Amino acid sequence: MKCLSRDEMEMFLTQSAVTNRSGIADHIAACSDCQRLKDALLQEQEQWSREMYAETLPESFTDQVMSALRDEEMESVAPAPMTERAGRAVVKRIRKMWWAAAGVASILVLLGVASFYSVPTVAEIIRSLFSRNNVDIGLLRAQEFGLVQHPNIKVKDKGYTLKIDEAVADPTRVVMALQLFGPDGKHERERLKLLEERNGNRIVVKDEQGKVLGKLEDIGATNDFYYLVAFFAQPIQSNRITIEGQIGIIDGDPWDKGFPAIKGNWNFEFPIDMTEAQKQTKITELQGEYNSPDGLTVRLKRLTRMVQGVRLELDTELSPEALMRSPGDLWQKQELMFHFEDAAGKEIHSVNSRKFPRMDSLMTQSRIPGDKPGLMHLSYTFKYLPENQPYRLVFDGYSVAERDGSSVRFEPARLKEEPVFFRTDGDNIRLKGFTIEHPPNTNSDETEGTLHVDGKLWNEFSYDDWTARDLEGKEYRVSMRGASGSSGSGWKDGMIELSQDYEFRIPGMLTVPERLTLIRNVVTKRYVNVDWSVEMNRSPGNRQ
């Protein structure tokens, strides 16, 4: 079975009627990529609901709901002959519907319970980007500052209607809610695929000169609409941007129920005024530099506060000695571990930590190679960071891909009786069995050798950096598959724990070989021998 896409995973998690649930569940349990996607979606939902949702409504809720309902467009229908009496009856029914809606809004206010944190316009009868299952503090700030825009896009073709009621933008990102209704009037959540290379569909963000700044991608998180987001690697400077959609095909059903692809024209375009968003943007230049014992230099650059988030920018650079350990483009695979804490030492947010439990409000991050080997431009955008009180950035460690070559030689047929261990650089993997698997129990239509393992990793995953070599010298690609987890009591400890049914898959291996050598060509090495923190919201400086 092939790995699930984000849309397919969301469908599996939210729709009990999905066919072959047991088969899909088995695949997810055995596939590390699908397990990580599933965990990310569940954690995303839990985090938003737990940390960002308020149980009370603003006093203006009723007025805004009533105003939105008053402006809501009614679908026109063909007129039918009507007597004066029938006309009065229809008017009465409409009035009853209006006051029924008003009553619902009033009841929600009285109860103090609703599916909103902040109140947008009601585009689809109390449905929007701000529903409870979708809480995003950046969007709430945008609502507070009046930056939610309503393009009122409605494009119809071939019986399908594409509708866009809400969009939000600041120099960090663009967020947009899109709905696609079929001929039966139901929302088609799985039919629109933004795969430019495959079907030509794309939605892009352009500046005033027509330059493409980014593409909107569906991040899931809700069944009510396509939650589309474009993140920018650098804060944009334009006072006006344009959202341009080129939609020419509605895909068939992802679960192969026989729904055909539909070709048509659902193109659209609308501008977004960024003037007010730019006014709300504040840039603070930062100072601070640290040289780690193993050759990584970290330099703070700037902190950009925007309506929808706070972006931290910094550079990292490897020394000539460290660069020798990461030849080719390996040096580009750098990750930092750090956290923020307040003046009392209480955690605010963490990045790439194995500590559990932990706080995490990272929205996006970017890694852009610099103009010379070893230099990386990194940025991290958070939902919020303290603005009027001091806090501290604490550097916990980093990882970087390095050339390895560690290996272990074994007899696959004897592993069940005599397990073999791969131990190096703090990693401890037990090789405990070997089988040959055939489709559909593989990652493709190809027969695979399967090395059954468990154990713990100190270093980060090196997913595509393993090979296997048989006695004849033939080498095979090796991929990792299965569930894993991590936990730690502090900022610098914690191991990645492989599940008991974790596997190394070897595509193309048809029989159990007499001897086999497992080789890790690259290790994503983890370093925590660092000691550095920087005071924020004060005169910038270092403390070591």
- Give the pLDDT confidence of 348-369 residue by residue, as tens digits: 999 999 998 888 888 778 888 9
User: How many C-beta atoms lie closer than 10 Å to residue 46's C-beta?
Assistant: 10
Tell me how far apart the terminal alpha carbons of the chain are, to the nearest angstrom: 51
Mean per-residue pLDDT, 229-236: 82
Mean per-residue pLDDT, 338-357: 92
Q: pLDDT at position 126, please?
A: 30
> By three-state DSSP, how is residue 150 classified?
coil
Instruction: Report d(CA 400, CA 333) in Å as an integer.
Output: 6
Q: Where is average pLDDT lowest: 2-6, 116-120, 439-443?
A: 116-120
In angstroms, the Cα distances linking 331 to 278, 279, 427 are 35, 38, 21
Closest alpha carbon to 321 in 289, 294, 292: 294
What percent of the chain is modeled with pLDDT above 70? 73
Angle at 454 between CA 450 and CA 455, to 5 degrees: 145
What is the residue whose two structure tokens read 């460690």?
Answer: 397
What is the residue whose two structure tokens read 């040096």?
Answer: 331
Q: What is the pLDDT of residues 44-97, one digit of tens each?
A: 554 444 443 333 444 444 455 455 444 444 444 444 444 433 443 334 444 444
Instruction: Report d(CA 231, CA 311) in Å as an integer.
Output: 11
Q: What is the pLDDT of residues 254-274, one digit of tens each?
A: 555 567 889 999 999 999 999
Q: pLDDT at position 42, please?
A: 60
Q: pLDDT at position 276, please?
A: 87
Asked if 52 contacts 137 with a C-beta cutoff of 8 angstroms, the reply is yes
Q: Considering the entire predicted model, what is its pTM? A: 0.65
